[in-house]
Amino acid sequence: MHDTIAVLDFGGQYTHLISRRVRELGVYSEIFPFSVDLSELDGRRVKGVILSGGPRSVYEEGSPKIGYDFFQWCEARGVPVLGICYGHQLIAHVFGGEIERGERREYGKALLYVEDEDELFRGLGVVETVWMSHGDAVTKLPEGFKVLGRTEGTPIAAYADPERKIFGVQFHPEVAHTSKGLKILENFAVKVCGCRPTWVVENWAEEA
């Protein structure tokens, strides 16, 4: 059984691309519904979890959500979490941060100003190009979280809770328009989660 990065699907258009990018790094990745039973994840060698983007608002009735119990499950097993776009907002929401509707939707390329590289941004420059596609934004971080980066339109474009190994990025590292996106995913999967980059698609075909 391979080290696995589990991608929870919140309805984002790039969910399958996230999983594909992780596999390109030599790390096995599998997509699960956001409502996956945690006992199913217990049966896999899950070393990290990525929460995908999605079209909904965390304050919208009926929007897909996970509760604090999910993060307790991760913390008890030493499993780091990375939230992307909606996932970034959802993490902040669950831990008591604030999310607000932006005055204007931020869509397209933006300049990310790295304020704290931490483990997630190791190897990035002070300024990097990222791809944004969001209306809501995190405006206040929960206790224990710190800002890693900002853009002109989004003061909290990336954050981390170093103690619990929880990270969030408002932008999309999985798309080619984000210049160091693959490096960010590599930092998370290999450096933070400790996955061994030994998976190749040929092995998967043989095991299927």
Q: Confirm if 169 and 157 have CB atoms less than 8 A apart.
A: yes
Length of the chain: 208
Angle at 58 between CA 56 and CA 61, to 5 degrees: 80
107 is written with which tokens? 């869509």
16 assigned to active site: no
DSSP E strands in 74-165: the ranges are 81-84, 98-114, 127-140, 146-150, 158-161
Which parts of 95-170 fold into alpha helices (H)?
Answer: none
What span, in angstroms and rounded, lies between the C-alpha atoms of 173 and 130? 7
106 assigned to active site: no
74 assigned to active site: no
What span, in angstroms and rounded, lies between the C-alpha atoms of 58 and 48? 22
Q: Which of 2, 74, 88, 174 is catalytic?
A: 174
Q: Which of 2, 88, 134, 172 is catalytic?
A: 172
Q: Which of 2, 74, 85, 193 is catalytic?
A: 85
Q: Which residues are catalytic?
A: 85, 172, 174
